[in-house]
Structure 1
Amino acid sequence: MKAHYEVLDGLRGTAAISVVIFHIFELITPDWAHNPFPHGYLAVDFFYALSGFVLGYAYDNRLSPLTPETERLGFWGFIKRRLIRLHPLVPVAVTLGLICYLNDPNIGTTQHIGVGVSFGAIALAYVLTLFLLPSPTLPNHWDETHCIDAPTWTLFWEYIANLFYVVWLHRVGKGMHRALLGLSAVALIVTAFLLAGRHSLGWGWGYELLWVAPVRLAYPFLAGLLVYRMGWKIRLPVPYLTASVLVLAVLAVPVLPGVWNTLLEAAMIIAVFPVILMVGASIRDVKGPLGPLCRFTGELSYPLYILHYPFVFLFGHWAWATHPADPLKYGAAAGVFVFVIVLATVLLYAYDKPVRAWLGRRYASR
């Protein structure tokens, strides 16, 4: 197994924590100007950039026809490894999402089976989401494609990127790669103009603007893959801390009016995220006291991201229904934040890592 780029792992943790904070404040106040990370949804685009880099690093050589047969990884070998890495937590997250949905005490009867929603609709949404497939939207979830556990919409597109990578992108030459990157950048800029009235690029999670999702996926994924393949690096002092500050600064930039905000976000994705990747790729190991924090947040990032949203939704419905005073509301928000971190940590060590290790030995070892 190849050594990890620990800074990049840690940056995934930084972005995941930012997403949780963004979602909590998003449900406290719909005014993103009062959110500490008003561009927090762009962490999704950063995840895609990280994914492109990591897939190139982990699999480019192993999928090459020039690799010796004993070391080469075929299509199904790649698919098994990606499923083992990503999917064990999916049924846990989806089941927790279903439990939270059916037992929300602050939403009346609109989510009760046989009253507000049929058993068939619930069962269909649950089963489809187990396979990360879009499902019909349930009550109180706007038009989300993955309403049982909303973050799984990004994992659905991550799987699509993985398929494109193993079928075609792993053998695309540098000229074609740059051309695809240029086209995807143009598509992102055009999308920024088209979404000017929506004030952000943070769409693609619902059916109305489903077309935004592949646009948000294409550029950062291709950019991350190109940064790896070109070996681009930027050496700065304390790269984990420096790059984390850059990520947080991007997500915390004040909201601009109209099209300027969507163009700013496109510029962040096109120009800033690749630079952050180059900083993170400058070293492999994080030494000193920051090392354990970097490694822990990196491991925690995926469980935290995929598990947190149903509990944040419970908190939001409680806040909307009861209108608590600010000290109680923000105290409860802090409690939700701590709870989802503890839950993700417990499931990481008690379930996810052991299950992935067993599946790896059983299905992915040569």
Structure 2
Amino acid sequence: MSGAAAGFADTRRHYPVLDGLRGFAALTVVAFHLCEAHAPNRFAQVINHGYLAVDFFFLLSGFVIGYAYDDRWRRMSLGEFFQRRLIRLHPMIVVAMLVGALAFYVQGGTLFPMIADTPLWRVLLIMVVGMTLLPVPPALDLRGWGEMHPLNGPAWSLFFEYVANVVYALVLRRLPNRMLAVLALLAGAVLVHYLVAGPNGDVIGGWSLEPVQFRLGFTRLAYPFCAGLLLSRVVRPGHIAYGFPLAAAILLATMALPRIGGPATLWMNGLYEAVCIVVLFPLVVWLGASARAGAHTGRACAALGGLSYPLYIVHYPFVYTYTAWTNEHHVSLRDGLPVAAATFAACVALAWLLLKYYDEPVRAWLTQRWMERKPALAAPAANS
């Protein structure tokens, strides 16, 4: 949400490059998930660390929420804050679950044989529950992956995004910077310990209500969100030329790097991911906030930022379908590349159509209906 209403204007600096970085990361996630369909295990993935985009999103979200809302609480109620967050996030959640349900029955075959026998009422029930973003229990799983949102797996991160918003509104916004720094330090220590001493040497997971996975979701959320919030309060952006290509290059390098070490040296990859999340991603956000955006860069970043959330939340039903096809026909990455490219393009096209003809109009209507005569809160990034 951006702009002004009811005579209230916001003259604070806008961060268009942060919008662009969010979109760039979303594109990388789609490519990672398509390549993942061909990976026999976590040690042989292409764009191997693409899942770290979620941790980057959490950090960027903390920064954006702090920047957009920290100084507004004297004239904004809790109800207004939650209304604004629902308007920003929930229309796409509803349509993403519908897309997942419409695509469900073409995702079967040898990979998901249970799909053919799944009754329609069960799919519709899970779709309706998913539209609320409430997790479904393992007993309602549809394909054996244990997802809390079986029709659209990445919605798990939006569930934790909502949790972060609630905790921010009730607790974190009230904390002085020193206490927030201590909290971020403790959360960072838990994250680093899990990565270096944990069972997998990575942060893959968080999408299931299974206790270990659910705790991992909170572990992935806590440090980045708190660190991003703290960053928005204490760090003053500079003025860096070519900040967008530099920050995007760092993001791509961190997410595309092959897995470090093997099954006997899990700590090596864990240490790498800890450095990425704890050190490099805050640096990327600072670079993005400090970057100078010319006219062409600004337009590109605006387009990427607008596309980022719709693309992230609607692409995975296509990935289910592509993964089922590659498994059914034993397709290699090389042979499947044309279909993967077409799937990628279809994801982008659908995301753009939904942004222009559904998300933006619906949010505008809801804003006018719910927030009429209330001051609008300009936000520095597309997904605020």
- Give how far 1:364 is off: 1.6
Unaligned runs of 5+ in 2: 4-9, 375-384
User: Higher relative contact order by CA 8 Å / sep ≥ 6: 1 or 2?
Assistant: 2
1:265 equivalent in structure 2: 273
Q: CA deviation at 1:125?
A: 1.9
Partner SS, residue 259 of structure 1 = helix
**Alignment partners' CA distance in 1, 2:333 and 2:282:** 39
> CA separation in 1, counterparts of 2:133 and 2:161?
10
1:28 pairs with one of 33, 38, 46 = 38
Name the aligned partner's letter for residue 237 of structure 1: A
Looking at structure 1, the residues matched to 220 and 333 of structure 2 have their Cα atoms a distance apart, in angstroms, of: 35
Q: CA deviation at 1:268?
A: 0.9
In the alignment, residue 188 of structure 2 is paired with which amino acid?
A
Aligned partner of 2:251 in structure 1 is 247
Indicate the RMSD between aligned Cα atoms, in angstroms. 1.8
What is the Cα deviation at residue 351 of structure 1?
Answer: 0.8
2:346 alignment partner in structure 1: 339
Structure 1 residues 326 and 251, CA, compared in 2 at 3 Å: closer, same or farther? closer
Residue 133 of structure 2: aligned partner:
132
Residue matched to 2:53: 43
Which of the numbers 194, 198, 201 marks the counterpart of 2:200?
198
AA at the equivalent of 2:54: V
Give the whole-Å Cα distance in 2 for the aligned partners of 1:21 and 1:324. 17
Q: Of 205, 213, 217, which residue of structure 2 is paired with 1:213?
A: 217
1:26 and 1:35 in contact (8 A); partners too: yes
For 1:279, give the aligned amino acid.
L
Per the alignment, in what secondary structure is the counterpart of residue 205 of structure 1? coil
Alignment of 1:59-70 (within 5 A): 59-63=69-73, 65=74
Partner SS for 2:231 = helix
Residue 161 in 1 paired to residue 164 in 2? yes
CA distance in 2 between partners of 1:90 and 1:345 (Å): 15
1:256 to partner: Cα distance: 1.2
Select which of 271, 279, 301 maps to 1:294.
301
Do the aligned partners of residues 326 and 102 (structure 1) sit closer, same or farther apart at CA in structure 2, a change above 3 Å counting?
closer
The SS at the match of 1:91 is helix
Q: Counterpart in 1 of 2:181? A: 178
Report the alpha carbon displacement of residue 192 of structure 1 after superposing the two structures with TM: 1.1
TM (norm. structure 2) is 0.87
Name whichever of 301-310 and 121-130 sits farther off. Answer: 121-130
Question: Which moved further from structure 2: 330-339 or 245-254?
Answer: 245-254
Unaligned runs of 5+ in 1: 66-71
Matched, 1:18 2:28: yes
| Partners of 1:272 and 1:210 in 2: CA distance | 25
Q: Alpha carbons of 1:109 and 1:40: their partners in 2 closer, same or farther (altered >3 Å)?
A: closer
Aligned to 1:98: 101
Amino acid across the alignment from 2:204: G
Q: What are the Cα deviations for residues 254-290 of structure 1, in whole angstroms up to 9, with x where unaligned? A: 211211111211121111111111111114x621422
User: Distance between the aligned counterparts of 1:186 and 1:234, measured in 2?
Assistant: 28
Within the candidate set 327, 332, 335, 1:320 is matched to 327
Q: Percent identity?
A: 38
> Does the 8 Å CA contact 2:97/2:152 hold for their aligned counterparts?
yes
The one-letter amino acid of 1:361's match is Q
2:190 is equivalent to residue 187 of structure 1: yes
Q: Work out whether 1:281 is the aligned partner of 2:286.
A: no
Give the aligned partner of residue 226 of structure 1: 230
- Report the residue type matching 1:346 in the other structure: L
Cα distance between partner residues in 2 of 1:26 and 1:207: 23
The secondary structure found in structure 2 opposite 1:211 is helix
Deviation at 1:252, TM superposition (A): 1.6
Q: Structure 1: how far apart are the matches of 2:361 and 2:205?
A: 35
Shift of 1:102: 2.3
Partner of 1:7: 17
Deviation, structure 1 residue 326:
5.5
| Aligned counterparts of 2:43 and 2:297: Cα–Cα separation in 1 | 31
| TM-score normalized by the length of structure 1 | 0.92
Amino acid at match of 2:278: I
Deviating more after overlay: 146-155 vs 119-128 = 119-128
Report if aligned partners of 1:124, 1:135 keep a CA contact under 8 Å in 2: no
CA contact under 8 A between 2:35 and 2:333: conserved in structure 1? no
What letter matches 2:234 in structure 1?
M
The Cα shift of 1:34 comes to 5.0
- Name the CA distance, whole Å, in 2 between partners of 1:45 and 1:325: 29
Is the CA contact 2:29–2:53 (under 8 Å) kept in the aligned structure 1?
yes
1:53 Cα deviation after fit: 0.7
1:360 alignment counterpart: 367
- Provide closer, same or farther for how the CA distance between residues 326 and 268 of structure 1 changes in structure 2, counting only shifts above 3 A: closer
